[in-house]
């Protein structure tokens, strides 16, 4: 009896100490994992028994808990509204550049770069990956699209769209997906940030060469537009980090959940804006839209397979991380800077190719929920990983 009492006292003491400790650097990773692995904010029995830092955030501000529990549905809702209510999509579309800048700022505010310094000794690998993702991959896609598929009837607008999609840098949210899949989160963070820095130059140089007259804009004008768009997001984000806003928000329950909510709202509005014109095109050329959607669904896994196969000798974890970065691309920035300067069908393909990306969290939710339950039943809690990954 005395032993049981001591055990209960020890358990209560550990819970009190856990609640009084500052939020650790894994909070955002836990938040994103829980959002997809446990739909509707459901908690496992073990998590309910012992409050975590993530649950402390959840309890601190009920107003934005929906971002964690229902964020993926809101993003999918923005996508559906853009298709069902084309007038609403047209209303939001002029704000696409501002929304992209906001998404970059929020991603940088939620990212933690403290571990990036250890990559200073891996500069050769970083350069190799940037070369693969931003130079080698689009050239390969261009050869496949124009030499293999166009002669068999693939519309040139889709072929050029495939090339531009391969030219785009990886999503800044790729580290989140890497964490969910147990891949190299730090590598995904470093490469996605570095790729956004280099992308204005590589896109400008290769777009005109690989696509040609379909892009009626000069190399340096395209580079300038991309630099302004990406530079504005990075500049504002880094400035806010420099004045300590990022640390303040991440260590504040209200601030952290506010970032979650703003990120979800921004993604939903992006999905809404990107769908402008897709419905109208479907009514006039349904074949093109269906073909573009099919190619878009296939392009992601094919690019992942290509990227992973090139680095298979680096180990399974690294090669799969490279594949992830190769598949998930930020095509929204190309739509923003090329509007009015290229074939509209190319822009439509770039928008349609984002549909699988926006729907992926909702589609993978049942699988991640099942995986989490399986691991808990096996005595392996997903949030017991002994890692210190950066936040995003």
pLDDT of residue 365: 56
pLDDT of residue 228: 95
**In contact, 91 and 368? CB cutoff 8 Å:** no
Q: State pTM to two decimals.
A: 0.74
**In contact, 104 and 233? CB cutoff 8 Å:** yes
Number of Cβ within 10 Å of residue 391's Cβ equals 26
pLDDT of residue 72: 73
The number of helix segments (H) and strand segments (E) in the chain equals 21, 0
pLDDT of residue 71: 72
pLDDT of residue 83: 93
Cα distance between residue 268 and residue 274, in whole Å: 10
Cα distance between residue 276 and residue 347, in whole Å: 10
pLDDT of residue 227: 94
pLDDT of residue 45: 32
- 28-384 domain in CATH 1.20.1530.20? yes
Number of Cβ within 10 Å of residue 201's Cβ equals 15
Q: Where are the domains of the chain?
A: 28-384
pLDDT of residue 56: 35
Q: Please choose, from the candidates 64, 73, 63, the residue with its C-alpha nearest in 3D space to the C-alpha of residue 39.
A: 73
Q: What Å distances lie between residue 372 and 45, 154, 361, CA to CA?
A: 12, 41, 15
pLDDT per position in the chain (392 positions), as tens? 445 555 445 544 544 444 444 334 444 444 444 443 333 333 333 333 333 333 334 434 444 456 666 777 888 889 999 999 999 999 999 999 999 999 889 888 877 666 666 666 678 888 999 999 999 999 999 999 999 999 988 999 899 999 999 999 998 878 777 776 778 888 888 899 899 999 999 999 999 889 888 888 888 999 999 999 999 999 999 899 888 887 777 777 666 677 777 888 888 899 999 999 999 999 999 999 999 999 988 998 899 899 999 998 988 888 989 998 999 899 999 999 998 888 889 999 999 998 887 776 566 556 555 655 665 565 544 443 333 333 33
């Amino acid at each position: 009896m005395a032993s049981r009492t001591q055990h209960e006292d020890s358990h209560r003491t550990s819970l009190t100490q856990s609640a009084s400790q500052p939020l650790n650097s894994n909070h955002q990773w836990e938040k994103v994992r829980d959002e997809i692995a446990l739909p509707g904010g459901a908690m496992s029995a073990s998590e309910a028994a012992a409050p975590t830092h993530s649950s402390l955030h959840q309890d601190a501000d009920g107003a934005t808990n929906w971002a964690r529990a229902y964020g993926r549905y809101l993003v999918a809702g923005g996508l559906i509204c853009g298709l069902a209510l084309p007038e609403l999509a047209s209303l939001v579309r002029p704000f696409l550049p501002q929304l992209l800048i906001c998404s970059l700022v929020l991603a940088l505010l939620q990212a933690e770069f403290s571990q990036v310094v250890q990559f200073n000794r891996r500069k050769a690998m970083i350069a190799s990956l940037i070369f693969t993702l931003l130079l080698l991959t689009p050239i390969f896609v261009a050869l496949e699209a124009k030499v293999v598929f166009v002669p068999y009837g693939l519309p040139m607008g889709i072929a050029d769209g495939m090339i531009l999609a391969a030219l785009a840098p990886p999503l800044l949210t790729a580290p989140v997906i890497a964490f969910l899949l147990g891949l190299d989160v730090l590598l995904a963070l470093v490469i996605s940030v570095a790729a956004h820095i280099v992308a204005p130059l590589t896109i400008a140089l290769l777009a005109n060469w690989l696509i040609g007259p379909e892009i009626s804009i000069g190399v340096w004008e395209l580079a300038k537009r991309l630099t302004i768009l990406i530079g504005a997001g990075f500049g504002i984000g880094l400035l806010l980090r420099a004045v300590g806003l990022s640390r303040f928000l991440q260590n504040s329950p209200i601030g952290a959940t506010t970032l979650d909510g703003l990120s979800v709202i921004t993604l939903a509005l992006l999905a809404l804006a990107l769908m402008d014109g897709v419905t109208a095109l479907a009514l006039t050329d349904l074949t093109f839209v269906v073909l573009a959607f099919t190619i878009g669904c296939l392009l992601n896994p094919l690019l992942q397979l290509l990227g992973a196969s090139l680095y298979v000798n680096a180990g399974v974890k690294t090669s799969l991380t490279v594949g992830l970065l190769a598949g998930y691309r930020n095509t929204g920035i190309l739509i923003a800077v090329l509007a009015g300067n290229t074939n509209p069908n190319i822009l439509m393909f770039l928008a349609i190719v984002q549909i699988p990306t926006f729907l992926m969290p909702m589609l993978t939710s049942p699988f991640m929920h099942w995986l989490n339950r399986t691991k808990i039943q096996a005595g392996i809690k997903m949030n017991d990983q002994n890692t210190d990954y950066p936040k995003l």
